Amino acid sequence: MILLFRVDDRLVHGQVAVGWKNALEANHLLVVDDEVAANEFDRTLMEMSAPYDLQLNIFSEHEAVKKLPSLSRDKKLRTIVLVRTPEVVEHLVGRGIQIDELNVGGMRFSPGKEQVTRAVYLDDTDIEKIKSLARQGIKIEGRIVPTDKKSDFLQLL
């Protein structure tokens, strides 16, 4: 079962691997990222950063489209899905993946991005992708850590 679908450009890190894992009692992390999936060095680093008690899978977008439906039905897996950008979410949804709620947790500053929250910087493309997902019925919430107050992320845009 999918517990959290999160946009976080750092992918696997302490807030997710400890904070969200513990709050949701997750036992599985799924990273959907074409670059990490294709790079053995990056895969190894990510595998080393995941806690020992979390199963970690790293899929390309293509693999995720094939495997996410069965993972979401697996009652033994309590999964947190991590993607780097809203664009990846849009690609997955466009290929038939059902997502009810999206957590926007962290997107670092880069040139052309404006600060939206203390941990989220977006450019016009990011904003359009998020709004497009919302128009498709996906609830967009903003929280960095599970103890933060849940908020409607669209109100910040």
pLDDT reading at 28 higher than 90: yes
| Res. 143 pLDDT band, cuts 50 70 90 | very high
For range 36-60, the mean pLDDT: 95
Left if phi > 0, otherwise alpha if psi is -120 to 50, otherwise beta: which for 62? alpha
Domains identified in the chain, total number: 1
- Whether 17 shows a pLDDT value over 90: the answer reads no
**pLDDT for position 138:** 98
Predicted local distance difference test score (pLDDT) of residue 5: 98
Q: Which residues are catalytic?
A: 13
pLDDT for 68 equals 96
Q: Quote the pLDDT of residue 88.
A: 98
Q: What is the pLDDT of residue 131?
A: 97
Q: What is the mean pLDDT of residues 57-84?
A: 96
With cut-offs at 50, 70 and 90, classify the pLDDT of residue 14: confident
The domain containing residue 96 runs over which residues? 2-156
Whether the pLDDT of residue 107 is over 90: the answer is: yes
CA distance 31 to 43: 10
The pLDDT value recorded for residue 102 is 98
Determine whether 127 is exposed, middle or buried from the number of CB atoms within 10 Å of its CB (0-12, 13-18, 19+): middle
Residue 157 has pLDDT above 90, yes or no: no
In angstroms, the CA 13 to CA 54 distance is 13
With contact defined as beta carbons under 8 Å apart, do 117 and 78 qualify? no
Average pLDDT, the chain: 95
| Mean pLDDT, range 130-154, rounded to an integer | 94
The domain that holds 63 is classified in CATH as 3.40.35.10
Quote the pLDDT of residue 35. 97
Would you call 55 exposed, middle or buried from its count of C-beta atoms within 10 A (0-12, 13-18, 19+)?
A: middle
Exposed (0-12), middle (13-18) or buried (19+): which is 65, by Cβ within 10 Å? middle
